[in-house]
Every structure is written in structure tokens, then in C-alpha cells.
């Protein structure tokens, strides 16, 4: 499988290089040159498989040039056995033909574990083979950092440095990062805000001289192709559990950077019958505004009760724009260069096509809280605020009550106790057993000034072979 850039002007790469590369050299994102396609008969034959075996069938075409089948199978079994539920991604029924797919049974209680647990193992495998080492550098306002740290904690060929804004992440989220002990794990609290952290990461990728040429930076943000790939699997799994592929399914996806729902779009292209995909956003609704009015326009960032969806632009949307433009990289490049300067639209027929592919809705904090409360009172089931947005959008956008509507449950409610409290519920979401002692664990992190030279100096001094 070869991978090409959405901006059409970077070399095609194989899986190993795509794994180690962030953005393409032309500023685009890598996508597979062609997708595997599975017949209904083939998909049907996967019914009842353990999650890891299903994952193998769905993903192997993407990696087969780089990884022998047995090695990949072993890696997948190791990856998904750390999840706390035997089904890995269990389904919970809310109402007639209405379901939540619980994607928060991994080590950090958010769906990002599905991809980042695998990504750590993939990186180590490829780096071992190449006798190479990388430094992962990333900025986080919460979920991604902890999932990335958990994913890399056992990697021998990876050091990971995660920057978070000092005293500006929730205590649960900070502790999920800073209590993971390992010589290759480095938490940096920057005396600044999240944008400062992100800017330092960006600057460092642009000029890696501070590493003295002895190692290179790698990225684990949601534009990494391997993360999208891993997320395709649970669409197949949920569908098979509810009678697919012999009936089609609808999915509602709490959306920020468009990674998770793009995986659903790919699952459909690979042959899975999906009749509806709902983009569910919070007040940071650039995607909903585009879907409703064909205008792609950045607004100010709003801080909401669903912080993992607080975005101004949606980075993986570029991958969809590439398909909407008949995979014309030059057209995507021109469009996104204009989008950086002001609002843009696409040709009407392309936009109408996008509206056939997706429905969308935006949900504000008040309605998020109302939904958490309603579902708890009726079902005694606690939704986290991100998932609540998905459930609300699913109900608002539903087309056919005979089609199972599955909302992706992207985080465990115990990660967001403030939203639960704000819903007026007196119930306190409990952390699962493996994390019950989170608040007693030892923490380790370094506080640094909001100064890129200081941060780079720290990294240069503390990676493994420095």
C-alpha cells in the first residue's frame, strides 16, 4: 500500500515512513492511494471474531508491505488485551435501536487508546527493525497526552516529551500523565497556555537542530495515518454485533479534529453498510456550519464542557476535502491556503455530495447537561459530555428508526466530573478499579518557563542517548 499527500506535491511513501512522518513535505496529510474493499460475504464471515482478529482482517491490507502477518497479529493481541472489557468495545442499549459504543475501556478511559496503544507498538516495531530512535514531542490540553504516554511507556526506541500548560489541565488529566513512571516519559508543565505549548512543538518540528542530528522528532497527533486506521475497526465490530452487514447502521460521532468520523467514512467505503454518519460538534461548530451553509470559516475558540472537541479548525477534514475534489491535490492546496485567510466555499455540487455523506448538528453546554441528566434519569446510565453531544445529535438527525443508531462513547464520565455536577445530578462518577488510587500516586513533571530554548534544551539533555 502506498500513501499519497492530500496536497499532491510530496513523494508517495510506504507504511513505515508514513508512520514516522507527520505532515507531508507539501503541508498535506497522507492518505492511502487506494482502499481495500470487502464483500458482504467476507464481512459476514468475521462475525463473532475476537476484537484483535477482526482488527487484523480490517487493517492488514494497510500494513502488509511493512509487517509480516504473524507479527502484526501478535501486536494486535497485545494491544487490545490491555482493555478492561472482553468485548474491548462493548455496546450499551439506551432505547429501541439506540446504542452507545463504549470506547473508553482502555488505560486512559478515552477512545484515543484504541489508536495510541497500537501506535506505540507499531513505532517500536519499525524502529527496532531500522535500528533507529525517535523523540515524540507533543502538546496537550488533556486526553491526547495521557493516551500517548500510556501508548509509549514500554517503547524502547522512543522518548516522549509531552507539554501541558502549567496549572491549566484538570487534576485527573494531569495525574493520568504525570503518574506514569518510565525513563522514557517526560512531562513538561509550561508556564503558559495551550497555544504556547503548541507553538513550541511546531517550532521544534520546523527546526530540529537542537537534537544535534542524533535523533529525530515524531508526531502522535491525530493527523497520523495509523491513528485513523485503528479507528476503522470498531465500526465493523459494532455493526457485526448488531446484525451487520445484513442490515445497515447509523453512527453519531462526537467530533473535533474529524479523525474518528473520517474512520467511519472509510469503513463505509471499504464495504460496510452504513446508511448515516452524523457529525456531532459542540459550540466550536466549524464543521456543522460548513455542512449547513457551505462556508468553512474559523471562529474564536470557545471553552466548553467537552474540551476534547474545542477546536477552531478541524485538521483531518482536509482528508475528506481531498476526496470531495476528486483527489485533486492542487485544488485542496489552493482551497486551504485561502481558508487560512478567510471564509471559503466549495462548488455547490461538491458540497451537495458532502451533505449526502454526512449529517451534522451542534450542541451547546446547556443541552449537553440536559442530555446527561435525561439519560441518567431514564436509564441510570452516565454519559460523559462528549458522548452526550453524540447522543443528542443522533436523536436530532435520525432519519430511520428501523436502523440501529450507534453513538460512539468517546470518554468515561469520571474524566469529566464538572460536567456531571453541572447537570444537577448528585451522583459522582467513579473511576474504574485500575485507577481508583490515581490521587494517591506519585507524580513526576518538570515546570519550565514559557521559552522555547529552555524546553528544547531540556529535551536535548534528557532523551535516552543524550
Ligand X SMILES: *Cc1c(COP(=O)(O)O)cnc(C)c1O
Compute the least distance from the CB of residue 49 to ligand X, in Å. 25
Compute the least distance from the CB of residue 385 to ligand X, in Å. 8
Those residues with Cβ within 8 angstroms of residue 196's Cβ, 6 or more apart along the chain or in another chain: 165, 190, 450
Compute the least distance from the CB of residue 154 to ligand X, in Å. 22
CA angle (76 as vertex; 71, 78 as ends), nearest 5: 95
CA angle (454 as vertex; 449, 455 as ends), nearest 5: 90
Which of these is catalytic: 112, 129, 352, 356? 112
179 or 255, CB closer to ligand X? 255
Element of type H or E holding 249 = strand 249-254
Classify residue 129 by its DSSP letter: H
Supply the DSSP string of 158-186, one letter for each residue: EEEEEEEETT-S-HHHHHHHHT---TTEE
Cβ–Cβ under 8 Å, residues 306 and 142: no
Compute the least distance from the CB of residue 448 to ligand X, in Å. 25
Compute the least distance from the CB of residue 183 to ligand X, in Å. 27
Compute the least distance from the CB of residue 409 to ligand X, in Å. 9
Burial annotation 208-246 (CB, 10 A radius, 16+ → b, else e)? eeebeeebebbbbbbbbbbbbbbbbbbbbbbbbbeebbe
Q: Cβ-count burial of 315 within 10 angstroms (0-12 exposed, 13-18 middle, 19+ buried)?
A: middle
CB atoms within 10 A of CB 344: 17
Catalytic residue check, 112 = yes
63 or 305, CB closer to ligand X? 305
Task: Give the interface with ligand X as residue ranges (CB under 6 A).
Answer: 110, 112, 143, 222, 254-260, 308-309, 386, 410-411
215 or 410, CB closer to ligand X? 410
Q: Considering Cα of 140, then 146, then 148, then 149, what sign does the dihedral take?
A: positive
Compute the least distance from the CB of residue 175 to ligand X, in Å. 17
Quick one: residue 154, left, alpha or beta (phi over 0 = left, psi -120 to 50 = alpha)?
Answer: alpha
Q: What is the spatial distance between Cα 466 and Cα 464, in angstroms, rounded to a whole number? A: 6
Torsion of CA 452, 455, 461, 466, to 10 degrees: -70
Those residues with Cβ within 8 angstroms of residue 59's Cβ, 6 or more apart along the chain or in another chain: 72, 76, 229, 230, 232, 233
28 or 264, CB closer to ligand X? 264
Distance of CA 126 to the CA centre of its chain: 22
Q: Considering Cα of 415, then 374, then 379, then 101, what sign does the dihedral take?
A: negative
Compute the least distance from the CB of residue 244 to ligand X, in Å. 22
10 or 419, CB closer to ligand X? 419
- Catalytic machinery residues: 112
Amino acid at each position: 500500500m502506498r500513501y499519497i499527500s492530500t496536497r499532491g506535491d510530496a513523494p508517495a511513501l510506504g507504511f513505515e515512513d508514513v508512520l514516522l512522518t507527520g505532515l507531508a513535505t507539501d503541508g498535506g496529510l497522507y492518505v492511502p492511494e487506494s482502499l481495500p474493499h470487502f464483500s458482504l460475504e467476507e464481512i459476514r464471515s468475521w462475525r463473532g471474531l475476537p476484537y484483535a482478529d477482526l482488527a487484523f482482517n480490517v487493517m492488514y491490507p494497510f500494513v502488509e508491505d511493512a509487517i509480516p502477518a504473524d507479527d502484526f497479529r501478535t501486536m494486535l493481541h497485545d494491544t487490545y488485551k490491555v482493555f478492561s472489557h472482553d468485548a474491548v468495545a462493548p455496546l450499551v442499549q439506551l432505547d429501541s435501536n439506540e446504542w452507545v459504543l463504549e470506547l473508553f475501556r482502555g488505560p486512559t478511559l478515552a477512545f484515543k487508546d484504541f489508536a495510541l496503544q497500537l501506535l506505540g507498538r507499531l513505532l517500536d516495531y519499525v524502529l527496532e527493525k531500522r535500528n533507529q530512535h525517535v523523540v515524540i514531542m507533543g502538546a496537550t490540553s488533556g486526553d491526547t497526552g495521557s493516551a500517548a504516554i500510556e501508548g509509549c511507556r514500554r517503547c524502547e526506541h522512543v522518548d516522549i516529551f509531552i507539554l501541558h500548560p502549567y496549572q491549566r489541565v484538570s487534576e485527573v488529566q494531569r495525574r493520568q500523565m504525570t503518574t506514569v513512571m518510565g525513563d522514557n516519559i517526560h512531562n513538561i508543565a509550561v508556564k503558559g497556555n495551550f497555544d504556547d505549548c503548541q507553538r513550541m512543538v511546531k517550532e521544534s518540528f520546523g527546526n530540529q537542530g537542537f537534537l544535534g542530528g542524533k535523533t529525530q522528532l515524531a508526531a502522535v497527533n491525530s493527523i497520523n495515518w495509523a491513528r485513523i486506521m485503528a479507528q476503522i475497526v470498531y465500526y465493523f465490530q459494532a455493526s457485526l454485533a448488531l446484525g451487520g452487514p445484513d442490515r445497515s447502521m447509523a453512527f453519531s460521532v462526537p467530533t473535533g479534529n474529524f479523525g474518528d468520523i473520517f474512520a467511519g467514512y472509510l469503513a463505509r467505503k471499504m464495504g460496510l453498510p452504513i446508511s448515516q454518519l452524523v457529525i456531532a460538534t459542540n459550540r466550536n461548530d466549524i464543521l456543522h456550519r460548513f455542512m449547513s451553509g457551505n462556508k468553512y470559516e474559523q471562529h474564536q475558540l470557545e471553552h466548553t464542557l467537552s474540551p476534547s472537541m474545542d477546536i477552531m479548525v478541524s485538521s483531518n477534514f482536509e482528508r475528506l476535502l481531498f476526496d470531495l475534489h476528486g483527489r485533486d491535490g492542487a485544488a485542496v492546496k489552493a482551497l486551504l491556503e485561502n481558508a487560512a485567510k478567510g471564509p471559503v466555499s466549495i462548488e455547490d455540487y461538491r458540497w451537495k455530495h458532502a451533505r449526502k455523506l454526512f449529517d451534522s448538528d451542534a450542541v451547546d453546554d446547556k443541552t449537553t447537561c440536559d442530555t446527561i441528566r435525561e439519560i441518567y434519569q431514564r436509564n441510570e446510565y452516565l454519559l460523559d459530555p462528549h458522548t452526550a453531544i453524540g447522543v443528542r445529535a443522533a436523536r436530532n438527525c435520525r432519519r430511520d428508526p428501523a436502523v440501529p443508531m450507534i453513538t460512539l462513547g468517546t470518554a468515561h464520565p469520571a474524566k469529566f466530573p464538572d460536567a456531571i455536577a453541572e447537570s444537577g445530578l448528585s451522583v459522582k462518577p467513579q473511576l474504574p478499579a485500575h485507577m481508583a488510587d490515581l490521587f494517591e500516586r506519585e507524580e513526576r513533571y518538570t515546570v519550565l518557563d514559557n521559552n522555547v530554548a529552555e524546553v528544547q534544551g531540556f529535551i536535548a539533555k534528557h532523551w535516552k542517548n543524550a
